[in-house]
């Protein structure tokens, strides 16, 4: 079947099975980069279905492992106990989430610099992929440096702001002559500047109020061809209305950097994440966005194309089940959940949880520490 015919069949099929979905995703992943972005769009709209279909497969795969230790609460989730044989011997490349794994808010998690150095000394390649779009790659490089992680080069850092720009670049948005409307902060704007895509909105629309008096209306630029929604600490009704008009009346693309429910603005508590901003636009347009951040395959596809990686030797490490772990399981990677961020052990081991990592640990520092269970048995 030709690629276009398969895509048509996909988007008009109302019933999905695990096997048919896996086949379709595999087929698309082998085609051109444009097809991969079609996969990103498909993945965002079918996220719930894929989560439910994938979970039993992951669980059965885990039970077939040689179990060195198991949780008393949930036998299918393994806590890392022998890092060398369970993890380090099987992984060449680690992809780390940042918030909740490397730092919390603006505070570095203790022991992280030493652990990253040990991984490099062991010959492991490290990448850092964050769904936070408030900074560009250059902005995140400054944050790494400010936290004492100046050994991390900029080319190892990938943010969802970069992913949004990469999506527009690879789908040749610039050639349409259109511009983007940004709900978000400076990170998205800086990445769009780098690829020469014109935009409006972003920080410039902070504090704006639409005319809501008698006969009031908000006039928008008819050249807006895409609305990018990223985390925005200054979101307001003006921005929501502008996005609504661009999407509903001018058929602008709806692009979300991520759907994270909560985020780490500070290390004191969780804060509402970009899912709340995206939810506002979904609510007034009735449309689902193309999601470019985790768990979308866009960033792993980019890394694979650029570096020629073997996915079976890559481990995704994060603190979220529905983005980080799902990013790993959906894209053929190994996955490990850490408890240093938003996900508790209770939630992970709950019978209601359908997303299963290969292993979990308290922090990534456990990659070089034997667990008490192993120590007692030796």
The arithmetic mean of pLDDT across residues 335-340, rounded, is: 98
Task: State residue 268's pLDDT score.
Answer: 86
Residue whose C-alpha is closest to residue 222's, from 181, 251, 250: 250
Asked whether the whole model's pTM tops 0.85, one would answer: no
Cβ–Cβ < 8 Å for 320, 342: yes
Query: Residue 316 and residue 73: Cα distance in Å, rounded?
Result: 24
Task: State residue 15's pLDDT score.
Answer: 38
Task: State residue 12's pLDDT score.
Answer: 41
**Architecture (CATH level 2) of domain 176-292:** 3-Layer(aba) Sandwich (3.40)
The CATH code for residues 76-131+294-370 is 3.40.50.1000
Query: Residue 299 and residue 326: Cα distance in Å, rounded?
Result: 13
SS3 292: coil
Residue whose C-alpha is closest to residue 252's, from 179, 303, 199: 179
Cβ–Cβ < 8 Å for 343, 350: no
Residues 6+ apart with CB under 8 A from 346: none
Told to judge if 92 belongs to the known catalytic residues of this protein, a careful annotator would answer yes
**pLDDT band with cut points at 50, 70 and 90 for residue 6:** very low
Summarised one tens digit per residue, pLDDT across range 79-94 is 999 999 999 999 999 9
Task: State residue 270's pLDDT score.
Answer: 87
Task: State residue 370's pLDDT score.
Answer: 65
Residues for the chain: how many in total? 378
**Structure-model confidence comparison of residues 192 and 262, the more confident one:** 192
Cα 331–chain centre separation: 12
Summarised one tens digit per residue, pLDDT across range 259-303 is 999 888 888 888 999 999 999 999 999 999 999 999 999 999 988
Share of the chain above pLDDT 90, in %: 72
- CATH topology match: 76-131+294-370 vs 176-292: yes
Query: Residue 227 and residue 322: Cα distance in Å, rounded?
Result: 24
Among residues 82, 89, 92, 232, which one is catalytic? 92
Summarised one tens digit per residue, pLDDT across range 11-69 is 344 334 444 444 444 444 444 444 444 444 444 444 444 433 333 333 333 333 333 33
- Listed by start position, the domains of the chain span 76-131+294-370, 176-292
Given phi > 0 = left and psi -120 to 50 = alpha, else beta, which region is 21?
A: alpha
Summarised one tens digit per residue, pLDDT across range 213-235 is 999 999 999 999 999 999 999 99
Summarised one tens digit per residue, pLDDT across range 103-158 is 998 899 999 999 999 999 999 999 999 999 999 999 999 999 999 999 999 999 99
């Amino acid at each position: 079947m030709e690629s276009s015919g398969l895509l048509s069949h996909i988007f008009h099929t109302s019933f999905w099975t695990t096997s048919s979905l896996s086949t379709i995703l595999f087929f698309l992943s082998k085609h051109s980069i444009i097809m991969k972005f079609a996969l990103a769009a498909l993945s965002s709209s079918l996220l719930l279905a894929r989560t439910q279909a994938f979970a039993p497969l992951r669980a059965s795969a885990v039970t077939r492992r040689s179990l060195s230790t198991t949780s008393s609460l949930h036998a299918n989730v393994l806590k890392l106990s022998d890092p060398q044989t369970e993890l380090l011997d099987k992984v060449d490349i680690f992809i780390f989430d940042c918030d909740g794994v490397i730092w919390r808010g603006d505070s570095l998690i203790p022991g992280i610099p030493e652990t990253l150095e040990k991984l490099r000394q062991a010959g492991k390649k490290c990448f850092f992929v964050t769904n936070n779009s408030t900074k560009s790659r250059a902005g995140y490089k400054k944050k790494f440096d400010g936290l004492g992680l100046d050994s991390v080069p900029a080319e190892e850092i990938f943010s969802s702001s970069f992913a949004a720009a990469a999506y527009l670049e690879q789908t040749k948005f610039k050639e349409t002559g259109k511009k983007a409307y940004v709900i978000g902060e400076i990170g998205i704007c800086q990445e769009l500047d780098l690829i020469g895509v014109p935009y409006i909105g972003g920080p410039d629309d902070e504090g704006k109020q639409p005319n809501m008096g008698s006969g009031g209306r908000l006039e928008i630029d008819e050249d807006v061809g895409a609305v990018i929604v990223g985390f925005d600490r200054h979101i307001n009704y003006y921005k929501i209305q502008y996005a609504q008009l661009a999407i509903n009346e001018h058929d602008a693309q709806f692009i979300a950097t991520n759907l994270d429910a909560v985020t780490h603005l500070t290390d004191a508590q969780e804060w509402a994440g970009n899912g709340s901003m995206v939810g506002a636009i979904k609510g007034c347009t009735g449309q689902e966005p193309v999601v470019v951040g985790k768990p979308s395959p866009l960033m792993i596809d980019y890394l694979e194309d650029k570096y020629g990686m073997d996915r079976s030797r890559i481990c995704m490490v994060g603190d979220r089940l529905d983005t980080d772990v799902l990013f790993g399981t959906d894209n053929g990677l190994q996955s490990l959940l850490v408890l240093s961020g938003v996900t508790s052990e209770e939630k992970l081991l709950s019978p209601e949880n359908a997303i299963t990592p290969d292993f979990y640990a308290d922090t990534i520092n456990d990659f070089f520490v034997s667990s008490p269970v192993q120590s007692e048995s030796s």
